[in-house]
Each structure stands twice: as C-alpha cells, then as structure tokens.
C-alpha cells in the first residue's frame, strides 16, 4: 500500500513539475528587445507674470504706473515658479535613426519632450505628428544606430496567447508585466477608429505608449487605455494594433496629417429590438440615423433608417466596424455599399469624401407652442416652429415638452428631445404621430428617431397598453 501511495505521489509531483515547466520564460525576450523601449516625460512651462506685482502681473515697464507700483508695493516673496512635468509615458523606437511611437495623449500640448533610453542616455524630442482619433503620435530624437523593435502581425494573435508589456508605470522605468490576450477587435466608446486588443496585462498610468510584445519578441500593439474605477489596474487593458499604428505613423511622417474617408452619416448599433422594428432577421450592420445634406451619402441616395450591411466588400457586423472601414478608405474612392431598406437589400454606389474638421451644431430651443396632451407613451409634444426646423435642418418633428412615467420615460427620452421618426416613417405632425401610436399592438417594439443636442439616435421601447 505504501509503495502504491508513494508511486501516486511521484506521478502527481511529476505532472505538477511538467505543468510548471510549461509556464513561459520572458527573460530572453526582455533582454533582447527591452532596449528599444523608452521613457517619455513632457514638460510645460507655467505662465509667469511680473513676480514683483502679483495683483497686476502684466504692467509693462514703460508704463507710467510701473515705477509707482515698484516703489509702493511689497515684492512677491513666494517661491520662484519652475517648469514642471506635465505627464509621463512610454514609447518604443521603430527606426535606427530615432523615430519613436507613443500615444498622442502623452505628448499632446507639451512644451518640451524628454526621452530617456534604456542605457540612461537622454534626448529632447520633436513631434512629427499626432492623430487624436487613434491616439497615435510619432516623435523623433537626434540619434543614430539605435535598437529598434520588430513589428509583428496582430491578425495572427490568438485569444489566450501570452503577451508582455514593457513601460514606465507610475514612473518606474523598464517595468515588465505579462498576461494573455483576452479578446480582439474590441470597440470602445468614442473610439471608432481602433479595433483594440484586450489583455489582462497589468497596465497603469505611465505605461501609455509602450509596446505589447508577443512571445516571439515582436510588437503587436501599443498599450493605450485601461478600464478602471480607481485609476489603477483592474484586469482590463487595451492596446492599439501595431498595423494601425504604423500606418498612421507612415502618413504622419510623409504628409504630417491623416487623410480619412467620410460619407456623411451618423449611425448607431443595431439591437434585437431595432432589428425586429425594421424587419431584419438578425442584429447586424450600422443603422443610419442622420444623413448630412449634400454629403457623399446624401448624393448617393443613402437614407435615414438604412442599415449598412457591407461597405466596399467588407461586411459590417457592428456599427463600430463602419467608421474604421470608411476612415481607411481613400477620399475620392468609388465604392459599393449594400444597405437594408424596407426589408430588401439595395446596392448603392458612393464616392467617398474627405473627413472635415468638426464644428459645433446650433441646437433647437424649446417651443412656445401649446403642447399636445400626454399620449400613450406618456409624452406631451408640440410641433416644431419654422425657426427650429431651420436650426436643425429638418422638415418636421415633434418637441418633447413634458413627460410622465411610462414607456418613453423608462426608455430614457427626456424633455427637450425632438422626435424625428417613428419606425420607417418621418414625423411631420402630432396627428400623424398619435395615429401611428394607435396602430401599434400591445407588447410590440417601436423605434423612435430622437435628436438630442448634436446627437441623433434611435431609441426602442415596448408599448404595454393602449390609452
């Protein structure tokens, strides 16, 4: 019996040892490729006025009042203001002649940028270009024969694969952390141009801009963001795929700016309820909620309520796919778009425009018209004035003047929202709106097209009973 027990113990120990031996060793990767990782600190000079006269800091010396205040006011005795660090981050060398990739938010608005190499040498850097939409920056130091990273292929990454980050979290230079790929192609709120790599690698403030390595020592991403409720690591980290980053860097190096395609639409995600409302068998595609008048989409015939399913041969599985695909399309390109309209697929040819600078929209003020009594949704609405229609560039719509507890309130509709559409129809009057409401059966989902400030979106809600 003792022999059997000892044998089992030996077998168990051997299995455990074998499993232990399978854990990855990162030492050679760090030794070979860590020298291409840099620490970045930015400095911004504080505005310093006339220190002798803090109450009147901008009195010129040739002013007749200058001598008076110099004689009769006590000199400012506070500490002399100095240049202070504004931010710290990481980066990595992509060419031997000193080009470095990092995050745009690390170097944005910096007066001075200091780069510290792995061998402790320090250099001042200049910004070649930045791109806020992808959070990529290309900077350069005056040096030669530098170690550089090897670029990997993010498409070959597998979920569950080991990855390594090197950076300067909280200023601790050349810190190494490891984990696995948690997911690929993640979309984050307000980040429409990057299919993020999600990992559980420990990333903290200061890691931004640093490289994410695969086990071959190749850089597959730039560590950019964390999901955190405390400001520290919580197991959710996001990296920009290196192919996205280097494409941006190449454009910044060549042109100093990024050319992006645009078609002039606002979109939202398809949900199960929206798909049902528009007769789509599954929740896929990007739902068009607004079309810019005179824009490429408008000229091509794309309409509100169209669901874009394919753009230039690429399937649009979610709404987040469309901005990336369109943005990567060269301006003036002619492409084919497939949309779902009135329960059929239509093919549309469109000439892609160029992304313009964003300008704020003027929004509608509340109406002075007497609102309609609250309807089946719990809404009291009024028709838009001619002035409001002109402000919003619409031909119809209803302004929400009041709201009581009910389906609309539960769905998040607010006072001041403008109702532009009801399922597949534009709303032009209160009478039409109420007529459409009466036709909806209990328990059915409807989709209201809502304008709130500069945002246009569909909101779905389920009617429980008729008034």
Active site residue 72: no
DSSP state of 367: P
Backbone Cα Rg of the chain: 29
Cα–Cα distance measured from residue 8 to residue 6, given in angstroms and rounded to the nearest whole number: 5
Distances (CA, A) of 175 to 37, 121, 235: 10, 18, 17
> What phi, psi does 157 have (nearest 5°)?
-65, 140
Is the Cα dihedral 226, 228, 231, 235 positive or negative?
negative
**Half-sphere exposure of residue 315: CA atoms within 13 angstroms, side-chain side:** 2
Cα–Cα distance measured from residue 165 to residue 379, given in angstroms and rounded to the nearest whole number: 53
Contact 329, 261 (CB under 8 A): yes
Active site residue 135: yes
CA angle, corner 354, sides to 352 and 355, nearest 5? 120
DSSP state of 208: T
DSSP state of 211: E
Residues 6+ apart with CB under 8 A from 225: 135, 188, 191, 196, 208, 237, 238
Q: Could you say which of 135, 306, 321, 372 is catalytic?
A: 135
In three-state secondary structure terms, 160 is coil
Residues 6+ apart with CB under 8 A from 396: 383, 384, 389, 420, 426, 427, 428, 429
Contact 90, 116 (CB under 8 A): no
Active site residue 315: no
Q: Could you say which of 41, 175, 208, 290 is catalytic?
A: 208
Q: Could you say which of 35, 95, 105, 243 is catalytic?
A: 105
Q: Which residues are catalytic?
A: 105, 135, 208
């Amino acid at each position: 019996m003792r022999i059997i027990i000892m044998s089992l113990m030996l077998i168990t120990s051997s299995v455990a040892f074998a499993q232990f031996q399978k854990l990855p060793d990162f030492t050679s990767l760090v030794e070979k490729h860590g020298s291409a990782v840099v620490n970045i600190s930015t400095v911004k000079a504080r505005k310093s006025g006339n220190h002798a006269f803090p109450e009147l800091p901008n009195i010129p010396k040739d002013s007749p009042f200058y001598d008076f205040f110099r004689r009769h006011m006590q000199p400012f005795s506070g500490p002399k203001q100095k240049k202070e660090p504004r931010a710290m981050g990481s980066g990595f060398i992509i060419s031997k002649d000193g080009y470095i990739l990092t995050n745009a938010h690390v170097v944005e608005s910096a007066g001075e940028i200091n780069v510290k190499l792995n061998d402790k040498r320090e250099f001042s850097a200049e910004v070649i270009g930045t791109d806020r939409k992808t959070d990529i920056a290309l900077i350069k130091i005056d040096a030669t024969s530098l170690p550089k990273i090897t670029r990997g292929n993010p498409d070959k990454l597998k979920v569950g694969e080991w990855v390594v980050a090197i950076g300067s979290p909280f200023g601790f230079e050349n810190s190494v952390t490891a984990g696995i790929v948690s997911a690929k192609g993640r979309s984050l709120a307000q980040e429409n141009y990057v299919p993020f790599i999600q990992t559980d690698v420990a990333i903290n403030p200061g890691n931004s801009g640093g490289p994410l390595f695969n086990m071959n020592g190749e850089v597959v991403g730039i560590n950019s963001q964390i999901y955190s409720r405390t400001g520290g690591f919580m197991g959710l980290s996001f990296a920009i795929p290196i192919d996205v980053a280097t494409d941006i860097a190449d454009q910044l190096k060549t042109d100093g700016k990024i050319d992006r395609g645009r078609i002039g639409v606002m979109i939202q995600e398809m949900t199960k309820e929206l798909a049902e409302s528009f007769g789509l068998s599954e929740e896929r595609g990007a739902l068009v909620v607004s079309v810019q008048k005179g824009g490429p989409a408008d000229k091509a015939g794309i309409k509100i309520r169209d669901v874009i399913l394919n753009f230039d041969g690429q399937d649009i599985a979610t709404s987040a796919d469309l901005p990336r695909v369109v943005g990567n399309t060269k301006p003036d390109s002619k492409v084919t778009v497939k949309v779902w309209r009135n329960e059929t697929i239509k093919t549309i040819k469109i000439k892609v425009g160029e992304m313009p600078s964003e300008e704020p929209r003027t929004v509608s003020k509340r109406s002075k018209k007497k609102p309609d009594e609250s309807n089946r949704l719990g809404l009291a609405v009024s028709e838009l004035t001619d002035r409001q229609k002109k402000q919003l560039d619409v031909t119809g719509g209803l302004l929400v003047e009041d709201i009581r507890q009910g389906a609309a309130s539960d769905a998040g509709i607010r006072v001041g929202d403008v109702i532009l559409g009801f399922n597949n129809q534009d709303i032009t009057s209160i009478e039409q709106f109420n007529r459409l409401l009466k036709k909806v059966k209990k328990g059915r989902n409807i989709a209201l097209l809502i304008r709130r400030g500069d945002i246009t979106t569909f909101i779905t809600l389920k009617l429980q009973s008729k008034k």
